[in-house]
Chains A and B, each alone.
Chain A
Amino acid sequence: AQKVTQAQTEISVVEKEDVTLDCVYETRDTTYYLFWYKQPPSGELVFLIRRNSFDEQNEISGRYSWNFQKSTSSFNFTITASQVVDSAVYFCALSEGSSGGYQKVTFGTGTKLQVIP
């Protein structure tokens, strides 16, 4: 069964600090997809990134970067020079099941990030 673990329940940082949010996953499939979502205090879910299991290249988008390591089953998310607007709950998610033609999605329990001005 697939599983996503976000061990950090809450993190507080001071503005401009860098912060890394951890995500560890479990799956038996060789083909799967990993996602990160942001949920600001307003409640909507905002898509940040999708990565397939065959692409281990790290990705950078502005102040955001993602480190995907299959060897450790991790897909960590780093925010550089954090800002107050980054305060939100961040979810990591795993989608698998392409071999069977179905696609279940499992989310982690989320990490609440508070950026203090």
Chain B
Amino acid sequence: EAQVTQNPRYLITVTGKKLTVTCSQNMNHEYMSWYRQDPGLGLRQIYYSMNVEVTDKGDVPEGYKVSRKEKRNFPLILESPSPNQTSLYFCASSLSVTGMGGYTFGSGTRLTVV
């Protein structure tokens, strides 16, 4: 089944403890990106990647890192999480950088930083 898989689905962590949220797609998609969803703010893009080793900042990149060493994987790294990074995170992928066929989203990761 074609899908974007995020792990974990739920995570509670403490301030300052490094964490990684994994994202993997099995559709050979070029484009991948990360979003956070907060009440009243919609989805905001954190980082995106047009292909392996090509990444760029979205609208809210502060406090996050990403890497794209393989086409299928696009992990989101929080080096030193803070409570303001408590949010619902979505990974997405698409066939092309122009979103051909739409962006396929993962199921989301609900992160709580205490």
Residue of B nearest to A89 (CB): B42
8 Å CB interface, A74-115 against B: 91, 93, 95, 98, 101-110
How far, in angstroms, from A35 to B88 measured CA to CA in the complex? 21
A11 interface residue (CB < 8 Å to B): no
User: Which chain A residues border B101 with CB–CB below 8 Å?
Assistant: 47, 50
Interface hub of A45, A50, A93, A98 (most chain B Cβ within 10 A): A45
User: Which chain A residues border B88 with CB–CB below 8 Å?
Assistant: 43
8 Å CB interface, B22-81 against A: 31, 33, 35, 40-45, 48, 50, 56, 58-59
User: Which chain B residues border A43 with CB–CB below 8 Å?
Assistant: 88, 107-108
User: Which chain B residues border A45 with CB–CB below 8 Å?
Assistant: 90, 92, 103, 105
**Residue interface bits B79-111, CB-to-A below 8 A is 1, else 0:** 000000000101010000111111111011000
Number of interface residues of A (CB under 8 A): 24
Residue of B nearest to A102 (CB): B56
Are A104 and B102 in contact, with the CB atoms below 8 A? no
Are A95 and B41 in contact, with the CB atoms below 8 A? no
Interface hub of A6, A47, A98 (most chain B Cβ within 10 A): A47
A33 interface residue (CB < 8 Å to B): yes
A55 interface residue (CB < 8 Å to B): no
Are B50 and A103 in contact, with the CB atoms below 8 A? yes
8 Å CB interface, A42-91 against B: 43-45, 47, 49-50, 52, 91
**Distance (Å) between the CB of B3 and the closest chain A CB?**
11
21 A–B contacts from the bound complex (CB under 8 Å):
A33-B99, A43-B108, A44-B105, A44-B107, A45-B92, A45-B103, A47-B102, A52-B98, A91-B42, A93-B43, A98-B97, A101-B50, A103-B31, A103-B97, A103-B98, A104-B48, A105-B58, A107-B44, A107-B45, A109-B42, A110-B42
* B contacts, CB < 8 Å to A: 31, 33, 35, 40-45, 48, 50, 56, 58-59, 88, 90, 92, 97-105, 107-108
Q: Given contacts A6-B42, A93-B43, A98-B98, could you give 12 more A-B pairs where the C-beta distance is less than 8 Å?
A: A33-B99, A35-B99, A45-B92, A47-B103, A50-B100, A98-B97, A101-B97, A103-B99, A104-B48, A105-B48, A106-B45, A107-B42
